[in-house]
Structure 1
Amino acid sequence: MAPITLKVIRGIFGAAELVAPRLGGRVGFELFCRTPNPKALSEGERKAVERAADLMAEARHHRLKAGANCVAVHEFRPEGGRPAAGTVLVVHGWRSRTEYMRALIEGCRAAGFRVISLDLPGHGASSGRRLNLVSAVAAVRAAGEWFGPFEAVIGHSFGGAIAANAVAGAVDGIAPLETQRLVMIAAPNALSEWFESFRRQVNLGRRSATAIDDRIRRLSGHGLAHFTGAQQLTRLRTPTLVVHAPDDAEVSAEDARKLDAAGDHVRLVWADGLGHRRILSDPGVVQQVVGFVARVQEPAPLH
């Protein structure tokens, strides 16, 4: 967001807090859910899409209806045409898409799994320019109805939070997603903390923020505080691998520690020096994740 644009937005929300906090809440929610233009790629993003072109050409492409959204789902068969050992669902994060998950998809295919990867609403080849937890969980659940149950669900960043909440059945009216294992890579713990960061950035006042929480409660059946990964994992007891880099500048390493504290069924692996995005393409991380999914390798520290 350009500095001048942010300055104007902060001024508007400051005024709305004083005279029309519910209106400020409605506008704030729309801004919070607004996704980046999937066609406006940086040079690095464009190169990542190009590197994944051959992989995407091999996929079977589907389009599913999920609420008001048309969601692109990409199906990758195991390498060599062999029978699938199971199906793995891959969920990308905010400002991401299936192509950026290439290394994990290829690793799972090489291990004999069929891989399903969806572009979340407002991302990649899917429709729309809005995404929130409810629409994301609905999209993941739609993929589960067509392609599940899953041997594992792998999520990166916001995709990790989506995966945990989908498996936990955290949104009222959407059935839990079936899976045997869960992988959360560079994933935030509490969505309320993510929202708090946004609130401070745009100068959204407390009364306007309360209006947003009320709207989220109407959509999902719960306020933001309900969508906390550690709480969901404690209740789930699903074997879970958490992979996080101590130097992650986008999601604090403290989030990983909180997820790890959910119980003995959660294993935390530190990926030193890999940040928030390079962690996706690191061969050691891919090996750890695939080994966990295939149940052939216990998680161990990465060096």
Structure 2
Amino acid sequence: MKKTLQKAIPKLYGFYFNTIHLFSKEKAASLALKVFSIPRRGKIAEHQKEFLSTARTQKIAFEDGLFQLYHWKGNGPTVLLNHGWESNAYRWKYLIEPLQKLDYNIIAIDAPAHGASDGELFTAVKYSKVITTVIDLYEPKIVIAHSVGAMATIYQESNHPHNFIEKLVLLGSPNKLEVIMRDYQNITSFNNSVYGSLNNLLKNTFGFLIEDFVAADFAEKIQIPSLIVHNPQDVIVPYAAMDEIAAKMPNSSTYTSQTGGHSLYTPEVIEEVLKFLARP
């Protein structure tokens, strides 16, 4: 019964968007974007609090509230960690612990509407602005990002390049917003008329159409030595995204992980990331 309801609810949303669209294209598009932008998960669970409490925390003002930042102090280079959709800074525990042993200075973010950060809505553009704020503040030499956090990182660095960043690691990064939006349409079954109105809303709000938001196109501007990691069994982001981004990113290398699915927090991936960071 529970699984049936879980499948039915998205379809009800789609039916609602389709119906509203008959009376107001703008309202239907706004509702569709709002539902798309609200994470259902990602707040801090009880079992995550103990580890996160080992960091010094800081709240930074931004748009609709405060976002949370964590700092594990070290004497080595500063590393910034940007998590993905419906996650929080705890997802980096697997990587933070070996980085601590190497005495890196570690910064991690809870994205807007995630973890201990304020906000109800999340977009890659909004996240990119938060990432830019933290980069400007802490001047990391290394940035490691996962999933939509990687996409937001590529977007921000193409618009606001930082010459002090020496290495970039992208884990399971999506390439095309259009792929994500078409998946959303398939899950909810809203019609192409709603999709068209949603596309117009993004153009009016953010200055780009859905099909124009392509990580590979943004990556063309990034000269930072970069490692792009993906897993063929990733059921969230197509494996092809790795090669699409790498093909246009001038100073990038790729690694195909045999473990980790979309999450990519396995010993194999950790080892490869640490090897990349250790290279001159």
TM-score, normalising length from structure 2? 0.90
> Whole-Å Cα distance in 2 between the matches of residues 264 and 192 of structure 1?
24
| 1:235-267 CA-partner distances (Å, limit 9, x unpaired) | 222221111111111111111121221245111
Change (3 A) 1:151 1:186: same
> Whole-Å Cα distance in 2 between the matches of residues 257 and 236 of structure 1?
16
Counterpart residue number, 2:19: 15
Q: Is the 8 A contact 2:41 2:87 kept in 1?
A: no
1:187 maps onto 2:173 in alignment: yes
Task: List alignment gaps of at least 5 residues for structure 1.
Answer: 170-174, 297-303
Cα RMSD after superposing both structures: 2.1
Q: Is the 8 A contact 2:83 2:145 kept in 1?
A: yes
Counterpart residue number, 1:230: 216
The residue identity in structure 1 corresponding to 2:98 is G
Q: How far off its partner does 1:176 sit?
A: 3.9
Q: Count the aligned residue pairs.
A: 275
1:61 maps onto 2:60 in alignment: no
Q: Is the 8 A contact 2:124 2:152 kept in 1?
A: yes
The residue identity in structure 1 corresponding to 2:12 is V
In the alignment, which of 31, 34, 58 is matched to residue 30 of structure 1? 34
> Whole-Å Cα distance in 2 between the matches of residues 139 and 293 of structure 1?
24
Q: How far off its partner does 1:38 sit?
A: 4.1
Q: Is the 8 A contact 1:190 1:229 kept in 2?
A: yes
In the alignment, which of 98, 106, 118 is matched to residue 107 of structure 1? 98
1:202 maps onto 2:198 in alignment: no
State how 1:84-233 maps to structure 2 within 5 Å. Answer: 84=76, 86-148=77-139, 150-169=140-159, 175-177=160-162, 179-233=165-219
The residue identity in structure 2 corresponding to 1:132 is T
Counterpart residue number, 1:300: none
Q: Is the 8 A contact 1:107 1:287 kept in 2?
A: no
Q: How far off its partner does 1:92 sit?
A: 0.4
The residue identity in structure 2 corresponding to 1:283 is P
Change (3 A) 1:264 1:136: closer
Counterpart residue number, 1:4: 8
> Whole-Å Cα distance in 1 between the matches of residues 103 and 42 of structure 2?
31
> Whole-Å Cα distance in 2 between the matches of residues 214 and 163 of structure 1?
24
> 2:169 is paired with a residue of what secondary structure?
strand
> Whole-Å Cα distance in 1 between the matches of residues 241 and 271 of structure 2?
23
Q: How far off its partner does 1:62 sit?
A: 0.3
Q: How far off its partner does 1:101 sit?
A: 1.0
> Whole-Å Cα distance in 1 between the matches of residues 198 and 15 of structure 2?
18
Counterpart residue number, 1:289: 273
Q: Is the 8 A contact 2:222 2:249 kept in 1?
A: no
Change (3 A) 1:114 1:219: farther
> Whole-Å Cα distance in 2 between the matches of residues 214 and 14 of structure 1?
16
| 1:174-224 CA-partner distances (Å, limit 9, x unpaired) | x44552221110111112211111122212233322332233233333223
* Aligned-pair identity (%): 20
Q: Is the 8 A contact 2:220 2:250 kept in 1?
A: no
Task: List alignment gaps of at least 5 residues for structure 2.
Answer: none
> Whole-Å Cα distance in 2 between the matches of residues 59 and 231 of structure 1?
36
The residue identity in structure 2 corresponding to 1:34 is I
> 1:215 is paired with a residue of what secondary structure?
helix
Counterpart residue number, 1:77: 73
The residue identity in structure 2 corresponding to 1:161 is M
Q: How far off its partner does 1:39 sit?
A: 4.6
> Whole-Å Cα distance in 1 between the matches of residues 103 and 259 of structure 2?
30
